[in-house]
Amino acid sequence: MKDFKCTCGQRVFFDNSECLNCGRLLRFDPERQDMVALIREADGVLVSASGERFHDCRNHIEYQSCNWVLPAGDRHRYCRSCRLNKIVPHLERPGNVRHWAKLESAKRHLMYTLMQLGLPVQGRHEAPKIGLQFAFLEDSRSNANVRESYVATGHAMGLITLNLAEADDAYRERIRQQLGEYYRTLLGHFRHESGHYYYDLLVRGTAWEQEVIEVFGNPHVDYQQALKSHYKQGGNPNWQGTHISAYACSHPLEDWAETWAHYLHMWDTLDTARAFGSAPVVATDSVDELVQSWVELTVVLNALNRSMGLPDAYPFVLTDSVIAKLRVIHRVIAAASQ
């Protein structure tokens, strides 16, 4: 993530919608992948200091839940991120707008990283068969007025589904502790499920498939049976030597998705640290340099957390096996971005 600045020089952040120093409106322009400072004209059009003209995403106008803009002449009413939505929650229910806004914020962060990496990001309106979609759903555990008894976070044929309850911090923390997941975050969910999407888009049926199988395992192993066995037996107690997480042991496709998510964690955090002068610039074509810089940064992150009396920010170890998997993902992403 960049170190964004307002026109007045004030440091601003990715989710900001107004500069507290000069009062200008702040929006993110996905075309230039940067924050822009704007003034609203009488007709509602947003104008930058250089004369560029934009209009707000409909989800900002109606719910103040989005800070992305579109060019003033764009016929779309929703921004590049929001138009990927297939289903959103019932927004008239108290609290749903707030929880949905959290999901949208995490989704926009994912979108930013995917665009920075140069990965293809297309919706169903652009690619009807392989486009990316999102569904944010409730189930009867959190809303007795809906039919679905259980909504699981997951991916199927380009559709990423998240349970709205994941935006409730207390619920998510309870599940995190029950399952022993170190990184159960909204952004983590989006990154993991995007891994499934890009496996289907970039690996399945391509020249990469055999190499990925050799490193991650056979994806044709019965998926439902593998997950049933994983949860029944409590997972592999020796996962640290070969996998990035216990859940990654459940099935080769979950190993890919967990490692993919971790790659995005690493890339984005290092990018942010570099932007703020806290990490060196490394060769983007070298996984070894990426890993070395990451290890050095996480030592500092953990030391800072301990100084604050908090658990380690990064309780993981990158073994040779995990690094080999990260190397494959790095190469797949690099080829897709060319």
Domain shared by 240 and 319, yes or no: yes
- How is the chain split among helix, strand and coil, in percent rounded to 5? 45, 15, 40
| End position of a domain, from candidates 36, 51, 78 | 78
Tell me, what's the pLDDT at 270? 94
pLDDT tens-digit readout, 193-235:
999 999 999 999 999 999 999 999 999 999 999 999 988 887 7
Domain shared by 264 and 332, yes or no: yes
Boundaries of domain holding 8 = 4-78
Domain shared by 208 and 338, yes or no: yes
* Residue 27 · residue 68 · CB < 8 Å: yes
Domain shared by 166 and 217, yes or no: no
| End position of a domain, from candidates 52, 78, 104 | 78
Q: For residue 21, which of 8, 34, 3 has the smallest C-alpha distance?
A: 8
Per-residue pLDDT at 317 exceeds 90: no
**What pTM did the predictor assign?**
0.94
Rg of the chain over CA atoms, in angstroms?
21
Domain shared by 328 and 218, yes or no: yes
E strand or H helix at 169, and its extent? helix 169-179
Question: Across the strands, what pairs with 68?
Answer: 28
Domain shared by 142 and 229, yes or no: no
**pLDDT class for 176, splitting at 50, 70, 90?**
confident
Report, as an integer, the average pLDDT of 13-26: 97
pLDDT tens-digit readout, 109-166:
999 999 999 999 999 988 988 999 999 999 888 787 888 888 989 999 999 999 999 9
Supply the mean pLDDT for the chain. 93
Tell me, what's the pLDDT at 331? 95
pLDDT tens-digit readout, 25-72:
999 999 999 999 999 999 999 999 999 999 999 999 999 999 999 999
Residue % of the chain over a pLDDT of 70: 99
Domain shared by 337 and 208, yes or no: yes
The DSSP line for 251-306 is -HHHHHHHHHHHHHHHHHHHHHHHHTTSS----TT-HHHHHHHHHHHHHHHHHHHH
Residue reference for tokens 């009867």: 140
Per-residue pLDDT at 283 exceeds 70: no
Residue reference for tokens 């200008």: 24
Tell me, what's the pLDDT at 154? 95
Tell me, what's the pLDDT at 149? 81
Q: How many domains does the chain have?
A: 3
Query: CA-to-CA distance for 152 and 137, rounded, in angstroms?
Result: 9
Q: For residue 134, which of 66, 80, 84 has the smallest C-alpha distance?
A: 84
Q: Residue 192: which region, alpha, beta or left (left: phi > 0; alpha: psi -120 to 50)?
A: alpha
